[in-house]
Structure 1
Amino acid sequence: MENTLNDTEAVVETSSAAETPSTACSRKEILPAFCITVVAAVALYVLMMYLQPMLMNNNFIYDFGTMMSGCMEGSIEYYVAWFFADLTEGSFIAALPASIGMIIMGFVAAALERKKSKHAGTGVAGNGHIFLAMFLTTCAALILGQVIYGSLFSSGWIPTFAVVLTVQVFVIFYGVNWKKILTSLIVGTIITFPVCYWLLYGIVSPLGLPLFIAVSVGVAIVVPLCSLIFRLMPWMDIPAPAPGSNPTDQNKSKFFVHQILGDIGQLTIWGSSWATVGMYIGGIIGWVMNPLHPAYGSGNFPLLIMVQVVTGALAILIWYPKWKKNGMAFTFAGIVFASAIVSTYPPSWAIVIPTIIIGAVVFAPLVDWVLKVFRFKGTYHPICLIQLSIFTVCAAWSFAVMYLIMPMLA
């Protein structure tokens, strides 16, 4: 089973303490790669934090606050900038150079995947044959969302990027003939934004929760809702899923590194290790140009990279037996959770370290359990159940951070 959100058959299993010795010891295959990856991520974080004070006067690109103000004032220039930021907002980076790097490397990865190159990494999660349609439909959805709902910029940050998570998975799940693409584009765009916007300003923001929870809950509502609507449309049939290979069959260190980056790439649905490399390189370029450009202008971009990589590395190490057995484990969900927390609350290690551990440990078995409870049969895209798992844990941990940890820190 390929590591893609297009899987319509989820393997649901209960972890057992009575693993066979060979399975239990299989983590040794990736332990060197784990150690090197974590050390490299921490070293990069230390280096970037050392350099960041020296870069704070750099103004070679707009900061996030300026872009936000420009959109509130109706600037076409900043509407375009917002469009590009939306492409990497799912990864909590929301930066123009990061999006450009991700786009370039995404097309490279798709081409390598189609050629079945040994250098493809995670490709684009098995979707190389429809990647152009995915990308163009996503761009159209972002533009349509701004046209329809752009007047709401006056209220501040708005979740226009949410269509990246819904429209794109509809294209993957239902297919790419022109009727299906137009239906996914129009229905997904029109419904997704108002649901997420209402949740954002009606519930999530007043409670002080991470803003991503509004999108997470919104996706959990919109995907099954749209699936019900699509059932009324005869042309929106669900094609049979393509068979996938087990990614752990390759060199184990290569699998480990590419899968971490591929899991990070799942935050924007592409699931591409090379697109993540392009996103990070572009993000770092944007950070050098202005440290307040990426990561919502928080100055936490170095921490965000480290948390994403370390959470992904720890999750794959812990759940490697599941990866090896099934060819899939929902380790990327913990990266979404950890990114949302560190993008919202103070960068204290008392928050960061437990967040990484929770993200790495909880989600692989939790998503399996949720799929089992809902008796998932592949009649709709599983992203809604994955998001259900993410926002439940994220909300619970956010309340613990706000009302237990932060008062102690104060």
Structure 2
Amino acid sequence: MTAAAAVVLSRVTGRLPHLLPGYAHWEQQAYTRVPQFLRWWIGDTTEAEFFKSGLGGLGMLAGGWIAHAAGRRGRRWAGFPVACGSGLWPWMTGSAALGLLLSDVAWGWTLPASGTWQPTFVPFVSVPPAIVLVYGAGWAVAATGAVLGAALTTPVALLLVDFVCLPLHLPTVIGNVTGMWVGALIAFALCRRLPWMPPALAARSTPAPDPPGGTAEPSPDQGPGWVVRRVLADFTEAQFFGNELASIGLVGGTVLTFLLNPLTPVYGSGLLPALLTSQVIAATVGVLVHRRRWAEHGWYPTFVPVVSVAPATVLTYGPTVQAVIAGAVFGALAGPPLAAWISRRLPPDFHPFIGNVVSMTVCTLVAVPLLGTLPGFEAA
């Protein structure tokens, strides 16, 4: 069904006028005027999914807020609880947005200087929200997370993308996610020594209401409806939202962007239909294969290939059937178990997301070059 929708989407867009500027023009104008910069900043919130869509970012944030408000009121339609069921969604999202703003302001000069895309988005989906989830609410915690995210994750990712990934023709996601876990390891070690930081939630005598590693919703009923909801929610797990409403806003806004100009999202590649198909396959296979672990643990990192191996394979080898399927299936089988294994071995005051992004690094580094040795896989 997803593949059929992708075909229809590709055909429809060829008949519509382009009502949005293309990605190349957007990138050129990003730091010339305040409105364009704000649009770029909002678009960065969807970079983890490779979408780069301002409308997608607005839709995701709106859906996240609705899910948070509805969840606090006990509405069943709120879906999987956002912010790992912690109730910290406003603080977490505020810290992530501030960290992203600091990153774009401090490191945005690398965009025109290099003439190529730069990973300034990485704080939004790494250190700032993770620190809030580990240390709790408060201005000091949120500001600390934002500053550490912009100061640590972005420069590491920049160095790896520009001096390792691009020269070696490796997917840039490897540099992005490596910057996240390297920066996070340093940041959480520093937080232990910062005098203004409160005790970590995991170390307090009264534990947090839900474990800070994921969307901790018991899942005894795993019928078709639950599978569809879980697949959809996986699209916003990278932002620590993990919610169907947020994902509907994200995907819906990105598809709308594609309809307005297919050369705007996904860096102007026109690959959104193939990318979405691969991501849906990755999430579906992951949720179905690891369904028992979902039931046992209440949460499982099946989203890992959705934001790493699956889209990286499509961007590397093009929208072929083999590229769409192979990266998705490999990532779904290998990524979640590796992520869970690493996360279980982290200290209690180091957020488990670190294991997820390490798994993304390893699986993408193995899968994408390996697939290139097989017949039918040629770099696009």
Q: TM-score, normalised by structure 1?
A: 0.84
Query: Which residue of 2 is the match for residue 31 of structure 1?
Result: none
Q: Alignment partner of 1:268: what SS?
A: coil
Q: Who is 2:121 aligned against? A: 161
1:178-198: CA deviation from partner (whole Å, max 9, x where unpaired): 111121111221122111101
- Asked whether the 8 Å contact 1:104–1:275 carries over to 2, the reply is yes
Deviation string 1:259-297 (CA, Å, 9 cap, x unpaired) is 111111112221121110011111111111101111111
Q: Do residues 226 (structure 1) and 206 (structure 2) align?
A: no
C-alpha contact 2:84 2:240 (8 A) present in aligned 1: no
How far the C-alpha of 1:89 sits from its partner, in A, is: 0.9
Q: How many residues align?
A: 366
Aligned mate of 1:109, from 36, 50, 67: 67
Q: Which residue of 1 aligns with 2:44?
A: 86
- The alpha-carbon deviation at position 366 of structure 1 amounts to 1.9
Q: Is the 8 A contact 2:318 2:379 kept in 1?
A: no
Q: Distance in 1 between matches of 2:23 and 2:55?
A: 13
Report if aligned partners of 1:92, 1:343 keep a CA contact under 8 Å in 2. Answer: no
Distance 1:79 1:251, change over 3 A: same
Q: Which residue of 2 aligns with 1:390?
A: 360
DSSP-derived class of the 1:243 partner: coil
Whether 1:304 and 2:275 are equivalent positions in the alignment is: yes
Alignment equivalent of 2:136, drawn from 146, 160, 175: 175
Deviation of the 1:407 alpha carbon: 6.3
Q: Percent identity?
A: 26
SS in structure 1 at match of 2:49? coil
User: Which stretches in structure 1 are left out of the alignment for 5+ residues?
Assistant: 1-38
Contact preservation (8 Å) 2:91, 2:138: no
Asked if the contact 1:163–1:192 (Cα under 8 Å) also holds between the matched residues in 2, the reply is yes
Of residues 272-281 and 246-255 in structure 1, the stretch that sits farther from structure 2 once superposed is: 246-255
C-alpha displacement at 1:365, in angstroms?
2.0
Match of 1:262 among 233, 243, 249: 233
Taking the TM superposition and a 5 Å limit, the aligned residue runs for 1:46-65 are 46-55=7-16, 58-65=17-24
Q: CA deviation at 1:125?
A: 4.3
Letter in 1 for 2:122: A
Residue in structure 2 matched with residue 188 of structure 1 by the alignment: 149
In the superposition, relative to structure 1, how do residues 368 and 407 fare at CA in structure 2: closer, same or farther (>3 Å)? closer
Shift of 1:231: 1.1
Task: Report the equivalent of 1:400.
Answer: 370
Aligned to 1:206: 167
What one-letter code is carried by the residue in structure 2 that aligns with 1:242?
Answer: P
In the alignment, residue 360 of structure 2 is paired with which amino acid?
Answer: I
User: Offset at 1:371?
Assistant: 3.7
Question: Which amino acid in 2 is paired with 1:147?
Answer: V
CA distance in 1, matches of 2:97, 2:343: 30
Q: Secondary structure at the match of 2:319?
A: coil
Q: Is the 8 A contact 1:246 1:326 kept in 2?
A: no
* Pair 1:272 & 2:233 matched: no
Name the counterpart of 1:35.
Answer: none
Rg: which structure is higher?
1
Corresponding residue to 1:340 among 312, 320, 334: 312
Report the CA distance between 1:250 and its aligned residue.
4.7
Could you tell me which amino acid in structure 1 is paired with residue 9 of structure 2?
M
Aligned twin of 1:4? none
Q: How far is the alpha carbon of 1:99 from its aligned partner?
A: 1.1
Q: Distance in 2 between matches of 1:407 and 1:130?
A: 44
Residues 361/181 of structure 1: CA separation in 2 closer, same or farther (3 Å cut): same
Q: CA deviation at 1:84?
A: 1.1
Deviation by residue 1:83-115 (Cα, 9 ceiling, x = unmatched): 011011111111111111111111101111112
Amino acid corresponding to residue 59 of structure 1 in structure 2: H
CA contact (8 A) 2:160 2:175 kept: yes
TM-superposed CA distance for 1:349, in Å, is 1.7
Aligned alpha-carbon RMSD (Å): 2.1
The alignment's TM-score, normalised by the length of structure 2, stands at: 0.90
* Whole-angstrom distance in 1 between the partners of 2:140 and 2:96: 16
Provide the rounded CA distance (Å) in 1 between the counterparts of 2:366 and 2:231: 25
Which residue of the partner structure matches residue 243 of structure 1? 210
Match of 2:104 among 134, 141, 146: 146
Q: Distance in 1 between matches of 2:375 and 2:333?
A: 20
Letter in 2 for 1:292: L
